[in-house]
Structure 1
Amino acid sequence: MSIEDRFKQSVIATLAKRAANRCANPECGAVTSGPAGEPNGSVNVGEAAHIYGAHPSSARYDEKMASSDRGAITNAIWLCGNCHKRVDDDPSKYPPGLLFEWQREHERLISEQVGKTAAEVRHRYERRHLEEFGRLSYLAERLIIEKDAYWEYLLTAEVLRFEMAPTVQRWDALKRGLYTRPIKRIDRADTFSWLSDKSQEILLIVAAFSNLTNFELARALGEPGVAGSDVDIVSVCRLYGEACSNTLLWEESVRFTRVDDDFSEVCELFIGVAGEVIEQTAKIPKFLTEMIALRPTSGTYKLELMIDLPAEWEKRVTGALKRAERAFRR
C-alpha cells in the first residue's frame, strides 16, 4: 500500500467528527470513543474504513481508482473495529454501494441531531440537486455533495469512468473476439456509397471527440480560480459516453459487414480505427487523477491525446477506393 492509499490523520480526525464518533453501521451505531481508566486518558475503538479497498488484496479493491482517490475522505466510512472487520471479511455481503448508503444515512442522522432544521433543509436541497443528474455512481454523488478540493477534476474523472466503462469493456471484448453480430452483406452496386458514408461518419466522430476535449471539457471545469459547474461536467462526460458508444457501433458495423473482394482493402483500413479513438479517450480519467494526486496549487498540466485518424489514413483510403473503382469497371 502506498502512502497515498492510506488515510491521513487529518482525514481520520474529520471523519470521526462527522460521524460523531459513532459507528456508521445502522445495525450497530456504537459509541467509538470514551474515557480511559486514568483521568487524562481516553480510548478509541473507531476506525476509518476504506469503502473501495486500499490495496489489491483488500476488500472491494478497484484497480481503476487512483491512489489519491483511495486515500480521500470520499472513500471513507467510520466504523467500530468489529464492524470494520465484518465488512472486510465478507465484501460480497457488504459491497461499496451499501457502505456509501450507510455513510450517507449516518451523516444525515447526525446532522439532524446537531441542527435539525438546517439539516433537513440541506438534505432536501441535496436530494433535489442530485435528482437533476439521474443515475450516477455513489462516489460521483458524494463528490457533488461534498465539493472538497479539486472536486471538479475528481468528478470529471469519476463520471467519465462511469459513463465510458460499458463501452471500454465492450471494445476490449470485441478485440478479443468474445462476441459477434449478424453479418451484413453489401451489394456490389451499393458498396461505394456505403464506404463513403463510413468515411464521413468516422471523420465526424473524430471531430466530436476533438471538440469535447479541446473546448467543452475546459469550459465545464471553469476558468482558473473559478469553480466549475457540476451540471456541465456531468453533461460533458455523458456526451463523451454517448460518443464512445456511437464509436463502438461504427467499429462493429465495419467488422461485421462483408463486401465484394474488390473492396476488401478499403474495409481492412477501417478495422480498429474507432477502437483507437476509444482507447485514447479512456486516458483522460487517469490523467486527471494522477494530476490531482500531486495536490498542485499552481502550474500548467498538458494532456495530449491523439484523437485522430492514423497517419495518411484518408490518403490510403482514397487510393484503395480508386483501385477498387478500376477493378469494379473491368
Structure 2
Amino acid sequence: MGPDFSKNTKELLAKRAAYTCSNPDCRKLTVGANTDQHKSTLIGEAAHIYGARKGSKRYFEKMSDKARSEITNAIWLCRNCHKLIDSDENQYSSEVLFVWREVHDEYTLNNIGNTTDKILHQKNMNLTEEFSDYPAIIKRIVIDKPPVWEYRLTAELLKYFNTPIFQRLNDLRDGLYIKDQTHIKDHEVYDWVQQQLAEKKKLVSPLIPLINKLNSSWGEPGVEGDVTEIHHISKLIRDYLKSIVEFEEKLFFTHVSKRYSKILNLLSNNFGNQILKFKRIPLVLDDISAQIEDELNSGITNPNSETRVVEEVISFELPKGWEKQMNKELNRLHSSKLLDDDEVEGYGCGTILIILIFLWILFA
C-alpha cells in the first residue's frame, strides 16, 4: 500500500467535512454546479497532514505508508488552502492542521448535525479526553475509527509509550549515562545472585497475561474493541518494559570482584535483548491493517464470513548454553560457600518462553 488516499477515503473525508474547506479562516464550499447537468464541479482536495512522501511538507519518516494513507492523516481543503499549507510548514504544522480538523468537525456538527449526532459526538470527545496530551494522530484514530482501528490505535500507543524506553536501553548499553555503583562483597555474591534469579522469574510472569489482555481488548471477531481497555493495557506494557530496563540498569551499575564477573555478565542484558522484540509489534499491526484495508478497497469479500486468524510469535529465549554456564557458576559459588546441594539445584533456570500474539480478523 502506498501513501496516497483511496477513493473511498477521499469521498468519506469530503462528506464528513460537508464539502467545505476545513481551514477555519476560509470554509469555502468545495462543490458546485457543472455545465453538464449530470455532473458536479469539485474544487476540494484531500490533503495529507503528515507528508505523503520524503521531501514533502510535514513528512514524518517513522510513519508507515499505511498510516499516511488513512483518513486520520487527512484534511479536506479547497485547492487554494491546500497550496497554502504546503507553502509554509512552520506556520501550518501538523499540530495546527489536526486542530483545524477538530474545529471543523464541531463547525459542521453545529450547522448540519441533529441532536443525536451531537450526543454521539460529545460521547466521542469525552472518550478522547484521556488522550489529550498524546500525539494528535492517536486522538484522530479514536475519533475517526478507520477500518481495524483497534490495531492502529495499539500500534501508535505502543510506539509513543515505548520508543523512549528502548532509547533508554540503548543509551545504557552505549554507556551514555552513569548512576551510583552498588558494590557486592564476595561473601554476599551467592545470596545476591539468587535474589536476581528470583527477580528474573517474577519479571517473566506478567508477559503472557499482558498479551492475552491485549488480544481481548481488540474484541471478538466482528465486535468493536474497547478504547479504554486498549489504552490501559498499552500503559501496562509500557510499565512492564520500563521495569525490565530498570532491572538491566541495576545489573549494569553493580560491581563484583573479578572472580565473579562472569556470573554478572551472564545475568546482564538477557531481558534487555528480549524486550527489543516488542518493537516488532506495532510494525506487525500496521502491516496487518494495511493488508485488510487493501482487501476492503479492492472489493474482496468473504461470503462465508470466515474468521481468518493471523498469528505472530515472539520468542523470549536465553542464549544457547546459558543454563549450563549459569549452573556451572552457581556450583562454583556453592563450593566456595559450602552450601547444601538442594540450594543450588532447586532453582531450575528456564531457557525459553514463547509468547503468542493473535490478531483476529473477520471479513463479512
TM-score category, normalised to shorter length = 0.7 to 0.9
Residue 322 (str. 1) matches residue 331 (str. 2): yes
Relative distance call for 1:194 and 1:29 in structure 2 (3 A) is farther
Q: Is 1:227 equivalent to 2:220 in the alignment?
A: no
Q: What does 1:216-255 correspond to in 2, within 5 Å?
A: 216-255=213-252
> Corresponding residue for 1:73?
71
Distance 1:25 1:280, change over 3 A: same
Q: 1:119 to 1:269 in 2, by over 3 A?
A: same
Match of 2:347?
none
Distance 1:130 1:178, change over 3 A: same
1:101 maps to 99
The structural deviation recorded for 1:311 is 3.5
Cα offset, 1:162, TM superposition: 1.6
* TM-fit CA distance, 1:324: 3.9
Distance 1:258 1:236 in 2: 36
TM norm structure 2? 0.80
> Matches of 2:275 and 2:213 in 1, distance apart?
18
After the TM superposition, which residues 182-201 of structure 1 pair with which residues of structure 2 at under 5 Å, given as runs?
A: 182-201=180-199
- Distance in 2 (CA, whole Å) between partners of 1:106 and 1:318 is 65
- Per-residue CA deviations over 1:236-287 (Å, capped at 9, x if unaligned) read 1111111111111111111121112222101111332122222111111111
* 1:49 and 2:58 aligned: no
Q: Secondary structure at the match of 1:248?
A: helix
Between the aligned partners of 2:50 and 2:178, the Cα distance in structure 1 is 34
Return closer, same or farther for 1:18/1:191 CA change in 2, 3 Å cut-off: same
Instruction: Note the C-alpha offset of 1:135.
Output: 4.3
- TM-score (normalizing by structure 1): 0.88
Match of 2:146 in 1: 148
Amino acid at match of 2:218: L
Query: Which one-letter code corresponds to 1:310 in the other structure?
Result: P
Any stretches of 5+ residues in structure 2 without a counterpart?
A: 296-301, 339-364
Distance of 2:178 and 2:28 partners within structure 1: 53
1:166 aligned residue (159, 164, 169): 164
- Relative distance call for 1:74 and 1:134 in structure 2 (3 A) is closer
CA contact (8 A) 2:71 2:144 kept: no
Q: Is the 8 A contact 1:160 1:237 kept in 2?
A: yes
Secondary structure at 1:300's aligned position in 2?
Answer: strand
Match status 1:283 vs 2:280:
yes
Answer yes or no: is 1:256 the counterpart of 2:265.
no
Q: How does 1:6-17 map to 2 (within 5 A)?
A: 6-17=4-15
- Name the SS of the counterpart of 1:47 in structure 2: strand
| 8 Å contact from structure 2 (residues 131, 139) kept in 1 | no
The one of 263, 268, 273 equivalent to 1:271 is: 268
In structure 1, the gaps of 5 or more residues are none
Would you say the 8 A contact 1:97–1:138 is kept in 2? yes
Q: Judging changes above 3 Å, is the alpha-carbon distance between structure 1 residues 209 and 309 closer, same or farther for their aligned structure 2 residues? A: farther
Are residues 175 and 25 of structure 1, via their aligned partners in 2, closer, same or farther at CA, if it must alter by over 3 Å? farther
Correspondence for 2:119 among 95, 118, 121: 121
Query: Are 2:314 and 1:305 equivalent residues in the alignment?
Result: yes
Q: What is the alpha-carbon distance in structure 1 between the residues aligned to residue 96 and residue 192 of structure 2?
A: 49
Q: Which whole-Å CA distance do the structure 2 matches of 1:228 and 1:88 have between them?
A: 36
- Assess, with a 3 A threshold, how the Cα gap between structure 1 residues 234 and 175 changes in structure 2: closer, same or farther: same
CA shift digits 1:160-194 (9 cap, x unpaired)? 11221211222233333333333332233333233
Alignment length, in residue pairs?
Answer: 325
Superposed CA offset, 1:61-87 (max 9, x none): 333333222111111111233333333
Contact 1:206 1:307 in 2 (8 A): no
Distance in structure 1 (CA, Å) of the matches to 2:80 and 2:318: 55
2:316 is matched by which residue type in structure 1? I
Which residue identity does 2:289 align to in structure 1?
A: I
Instruction: Give the SS at the match of 2:205.
Output: helix
Deviation of 1:17 (Å): 1.8
Task: Return the offset for 1:151.
Answer: 1.4
Distance 2:175 2:88 in 1: 34
Mean CA deviation greater in 136-145 or 148-157: 136-145
Q: Which has the higher strand share?
A: 2
Report what 1:34 is aligned to: 32
- Looking at structure 2, the residues matched to 275 and 254 of structure 1 have their Cα atoms a distance apart, in angstroms, of 11
Identify if the C-alpha distance between structure 1 residues 95 and 276 changes in structure 2 by more than 3 Å, giving closer, same or farther.
Answer: farther
Give 2:20's match in structure 1, choosing from 4, 19, 22.
Answer: 22
1: distance between equivalents of 2:171 and 2:82? Answer: 36
How much does 1:119 deviate? Answer: 4.1
Cα distance in 1, alignment partners of residues 111 and 318 from structure 2: 58
